[in-house]
């Protein structure tokens, strides 16, 4: 084949490949935006971790409930423990990530600096793992939910999909399992106790808390007192001003 014809054929193949890559990227973006938009109004049916735990655990429980039917103590406890600037940041906490990076350089066990938004994106849309691909997708979905959902919707989804015990998902299931009461009636102490188990919900048990978990519960309660009611718009404004 003459060199000119070979060059033209090669360029056609490259253009075809680029068009295919571009179309794939375009439709991936469109589908992910529509997917996130849909779950902004429709409850997520199941997550990867739920499916995994349903196979592994002897019992499985998940009860979907709206944020208005969950005691205010529960989202406030989660914010105090997991992400104290959740109501005012745009999905990422660079300070938390920096601290986690510095801590992990010295620690044997890796601990993340993920916000509630990042945890929600990971739980709802992705699979468990620490690959660069998954982290990149987590960042993309975090941007989408922060753009398309309200903070209250992010909290509502998080409090319904978060693992809160062996085979237990969501605040309602945890409240019934640990305290035999609905999530709407959780006291500050009970919400703090559930929250205290979140770093390792399969290892810790809010129905039979260890001394360590009791200590974490007291720490969560102190944090709740320190940050105040961040669901209150006036408190949120103060937190935003102080963080500027």
One domain, residues 147 and 31 = no
Number of domains in the chain: 2
Q: Domain of 99: which CATH number? A: 1.10.3810.10
Per-residue pLDDT, 232:
82
Per-residue pLDDT tens digits for 40-83 = 999 998 999 999 998 998 889 999 999 999 999 999 999 999 99
24 and 97 share one domain:
no
Contact 121, 155 (CB under 8 A): no
Domain that holds residue 33: 1-39
Q: Report the pLDDT value the prediction gives residue 225, as an integer from 0 to 100.
A: 95
Q: Are residues 150 and 207 in the same domain?
A: yes
Residue 38: is its pLDDT beyond 80?
yes
77 shares its domain with 91: yes
Same domain as 148, residue 108: yes
The pLDDT score that the predictor gives to residue 13 is 82
Q: Is the pLDDT of residue 109 over 70?
A: no
The 3-state DSSP class for residue 2 equals coil
**Which pairs from 38-44 meet CB under 8 Å and 24+ separation?**
39/124, 39/157, 40/145, 40/148, 40/149, 40/153, 43/157, 43/160, 44/124, 44/157, 44/160, 44/161
The model's pTM is: 0.87
């Amino acid at each position: 084949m003459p060199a000119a014809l070979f060059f033209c054929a090669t360029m056609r193949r490259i253009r075809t490949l680029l068009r295919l890559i571009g179309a794939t990227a375009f439709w991936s973006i469109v589908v992910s935006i529509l997917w996130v938009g849909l779950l902004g109004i429709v409850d997520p049916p199941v997550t990867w971790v739920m499916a995994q735990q349903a196979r592994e655990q002897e019992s499985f429980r998940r009860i979907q409930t709206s944020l208005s039917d969950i005691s205010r103590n529960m989202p406030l406890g989660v914010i105090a423990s997991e992400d104290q600037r959740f109501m005012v940041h745009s999905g990422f906490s660079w300070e938390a990530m920096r601290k986690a990076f510095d801590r992990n350089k010295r620690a044997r066990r890796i601990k993340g600096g993920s916000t509630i938004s990042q945890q929600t994106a990971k739980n709802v849309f992705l699979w468990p793992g620490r690959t660069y691909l998954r982290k990149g997708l987590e960042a993309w979905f975090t941007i989408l939910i922060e753009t398309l959902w309200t903070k209250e919707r992010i909290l509502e989804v998080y409090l319904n999909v978060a693992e809160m015990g062996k085979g237990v998902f969501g605040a309602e299931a945890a409240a019934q399992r640990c305290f035999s009461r609905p999530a709407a009636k959780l006291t500050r102490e009970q919400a703090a106790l559930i929250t205290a188990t979140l770093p390792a919900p399969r290892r810790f048990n809010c129905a039979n808390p260890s001394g360590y978990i009791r200590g974490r519960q007291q720490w969560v309660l102190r944090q709740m007192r320190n940050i105040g009611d961040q669901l209150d718009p006036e408190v949120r404004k103060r937190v935003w001003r102080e963080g500027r």
